[in-house]
Structure 1
Amino acid sequence: MTPETVGPLSRLVDVGNVPPAGKHVHVHATPEECTALAKDFGLAGIEALSADFTLTSTAKGVHVVGQVKASITQICVATLEPFDSTVTEDVEVDFAEPDGMPPEPPTEMHEYEPPDEIINGKVDLGAVAAEFLALGLDPYPRKPGVDFEFKDPADEELSPFAALNAIKGKK
């Protein structure tokens, strides 16, 4: 892992000696990290971001399960007003050493998801938390109670041709 690849939220965890019962890791973003992530994700703000993970050893590496929770402020696509919401996203990721990664099996591409890499004996659970927060964001957020109502011009009495029909009727 190089400094250029680390995002605003980084929590490197050594996975070399994960106990048989597993290892619990809690990630809590600082206010500065929340501000940087909000900027990266185009959000009005991230008030809080935390994640709880359980790591277990596997034959090829480490299996990570957990949950990411965040309190965020988004901009409504219909009203352009800021509103607060929460994001809760379940996490399940496998990690393996680069040399231990299996080649892609001869099945359809979308059925196979290769494990993420363990780099220098560590995984970045901060980056995992940020990635799953991004996956949990609504790309078209709407403030609760706001609906976008599309009105079909054909349903309206006034259509783009209503003025022409009015002139035609006067002759």
Structure 2
Amino acid sequence: MDERDRTGRIVQLGDGAPRREQDFEIVPNAQDRAALAEALGILAVRKLRFTGRLVPISRRDWTLEAKLGASVVQECGVTLAPVTSRIEETVRRRFLTEMPQVEAGGEVEMPEDETIEPLPQSVDLTAVLHEALALALPPFPRAEGADLGEAVFTEPGKAPMRDEDARPFADLAALRDKLAGKD
């Protein structure tokens, strides 16, 4: 039995698993948070807590309901300065024995409920935590006051096109203003 089994981070769900509600709390240590930050390609995971419960919902199916709380540090997408973000997410997974079947043509119809997953023999709660955190990270963190500005590129000898020129109704607005001045 490895350490994760002793800490309750791998929970048996398949045949023969106990059919009772199971509470869990995972608070990774500094070394585990540093390894997770490296795996996610971010600067740091300062705080991390994953608490919840696994609940049997039928003879064989299960629901995982949890709260993810984290403080992460990422590079600003503009300046590369460190940006700290607070993440509070509700995590919900339903592990079901009956999933959509393969239909004619080899296509599988995806369920509308994205929380549904096939029932595994066991679930690694640490893996669920890592996935939930990866999905919750801000995709383009910005330091306070960071601005992309305006980049202007053109061929030599030609007038550059500015952001203002690319507006879809800029010409109509100019025409309206021109016509309004003639009245």
TM value normalised by structure 2: 0.66
**Offset of 1:40 from its aligned partner?**
0.7
Question: Letter of the aligned partner of 1:41 in structure 2?
Answer: L
Give the 3 Å change call, closer, same or farther, for CA 14–103 of structure 1 in structure 2: same
Is the Cα contact below 8 Å between 1:26 and 1:52 reproduced in 2? yes
Aligned match of 1:45: 44
**CA distance in structure 2 between the partners assigned to 1:11 and 1:32 by the alignment:** 17
Give the 3 Å change call, closer, same or farther, for CA 146–12 of structure 1 in structure 2: same
Q: Check if 1:102 corresponds to 2:103.
A: no
Is the Cα contact below 8 Å between 1:18 and 1:55 reproduced in 2? no
Unaligned stretches of 5+ in structure 1? 1-5, 164-171
Is the Cα contact below 8 Å between 2:100 and 2:111 reproduced in 1? no
Give the 3 Å change call, closer, same or farther, for CA 108–116 of structure 1 in structure 2: closer
**Offset of 1:18 from its aligned partner?**
4.1
Aligned match of 1:150: 150
**CA distance in structure 1 between the partners assigned to 2:71 and 2:157 by the alignment:** 45
Aligned-partner SS, 2:31: helix
Is the Cα contact below 8 Å between 1:104 and 1:112 reproduced in 2? no
Cα RMSD after superposing both structures: 3.0
Paired-residue identity, %: 28
Is the Cα contact below 8 Å between 2:46 and 2:72 reproduced in 1? yes
Is the Cα contact below 8 Å between 1:56 and 1:64 reproduced in 2? yes
**Offset of 1:87 from its aligned partner?**
1.5
Deviates more, 1:23-32 or 1:105-114: 105-114
Aligned-partner SS, 2:147: coil
* 2:10 corresponds to which of 9, 12, 37: 12
**CA distance in structure 2 between the partners assigned to 1:149 and 1:104 by the alignment:** 50
Give the 3 Å change call, closer, same or farther, for CA 105–65 of structure 1 in structure 2: farther
Give the 3 Å change call, closer, same or farther, for CA 152–134 of structure 1 in structure 2: same
Unaligned stretches of 5+ in structure 2? 161-183
Aligned match of 1:111: 112
Aligned match of 1:26: 25
Question: Letter of the aligned partner of 1:135 in structure 2?
Answer: L
* 1:161 corresponds to which of 158, 161, 173: 158
Larger Rg: 2
Give the 3 Å change call, closer, same or farther, for CA 18–49 of structure 1 in structure 2: farther
Aligned match of 1:35: 34
**CA distance in structure 2 between the partners assigned to 1:41 and 1:35 by the alignment:** 10
